[in-house]
Structure 1
Amino acid sequence: MTDIQTSRLSLHAIDTAEGERIVARRPGDGDAWAEDFPFDGDVIGVTAFLRSTAAHGDQRPLGHYRITRSSDGNAIGGIGFKGRPDGGCIEIGYGLSPSARGQGYAGEALVALLGIAAEHGLSRVIADTTKDNIASQRTLERAGFNQVGDDGDLYLYEVLLNAPSQRTQPQ
């Protein structure tokens, strides 16, 4: 599978072997990781990806992607689809290593992932974020998501992909 290129990033669909290296926090030959990659959120997301892959087989292209910064070639986070599509809907999650936050990388990767969802016939993408994570809320909103509710400590978001696109490249 070909990596997805954005203006500043490369999204690489990981396989089981790479997922296991990320969870173990042990880079293999050829892995270039930012000093603080993977962080706890990466390990949690990739662990879920590995469980889903074990249960359902290869998830690509609706799996998990390593986010790599083009300027230095280092992995800085992850983004991916959580589980399998259900009635044209799929959930996403993302996270960046602390050193890569605040530079618009998450939004850039999110817009690219929405393109993958649309290309594969999905009509709705959902996400959630904690109520205190203002940066994630703004990232979702800049990518075209609307807040549709809350559930305890979480805000719930969705974007409809079959509607006229409101997605823009986050800045």
Structure 2
Amino acid sequence: MRQLHKGAHPDWCSTFLIIRVSDSAVVGACGFKDEPADGCVEIGYGVAPACRKQGMASAAISELVRLAFASGQVDAVLAQVNADNVGSTRAVQSLGFTAHDTLIDDDGEPLVQWSVRRSPWEDAHPR
């Protein structure tokens, strides 16, 4: 809500629900963390523990990347993944993200910076 009050477009600050097709259950959520800055936007996502290892995170990440690049405002998408989160690491790797530096957040959590650029993504995921 804070972002909307500052004038951000709803597409960049809304939460999208991850819904399992087989039974329409909400299994997680995803979205953009803020509006794009300098051609880059950060994504966030989470899937309920009981629903992991079923491709839900990969599908959500893929759709966020597609939306970001389709906006025409984004050249790169960033995902920060805890260094110990093997499932999330596999998900971004499988979608062509490249690992960069590891940063320590305010809570002392090591986060690997993963990004994917528009051209490699579009080449690997034609419409």
Q: Same fold (TM over 0.5)?
A: yes
Alignment partner of 1:96 is 2:47: yes
Matches within 5 A, 1:26-105: 50-60=1-11, 63-105=14-56
Q: Deviations over 1:13-50 (max 9, x none)?
A: xxxxxxxxxxxxxxxxxxxxxxxxxxxxxxxxxxxxx3
Alignment partner of 1:110 is 2:61: yes
Aligned CA distance change for structure 1 residues 57 and 87 (closer, same or farther; 3 Å): closer
Matches within 5 A, 1:152-171: 152=104, 153-163=110-120, 165=122, 167=124
Structure-1 separation of matches of 2:6 and 2:12: 16
Aligned CA distance change for structure 1 residues 150 and 63 (closer, same or farther; 3 Å): same
- What is the aligned-residue identity percentage? 30
Contact 2:4 2:13 in 1 (8 A): no
Shift of 1:67: 0.8
Shift of 1:141: 0.7
Structure-1 separation of matches of 2:121 and 2:83: 28
TM-score, normalized by length of structure 2?
0.84
Shift of 1:162: 3.1
Unaligned runs of 5+ in 2: 105-109
Length, aligned pairs only: 119
Aligned CA distance change for structure 1 residues 110 and 65 (closer, same or farther; 3 Å): same
Contact 2:12 2:31 in 1 (8 A): no
> What residue identity is the alignment partner of 2:21?
S
TM-score, normalized by length of structure 1?
0.64
Aligned CA distance change for structure 1 residues 114 and 62 (closer, same or farther; 3 Å): farther
Unaligned runs of 5+ in 1: 1-49
Contact 2:12 2:32 in 1 (8 A): no
Structure-1 separation of matches of 2:121 and 2:45: 24
Structure-1 separation of matches of 2:42 and 2:87: 19
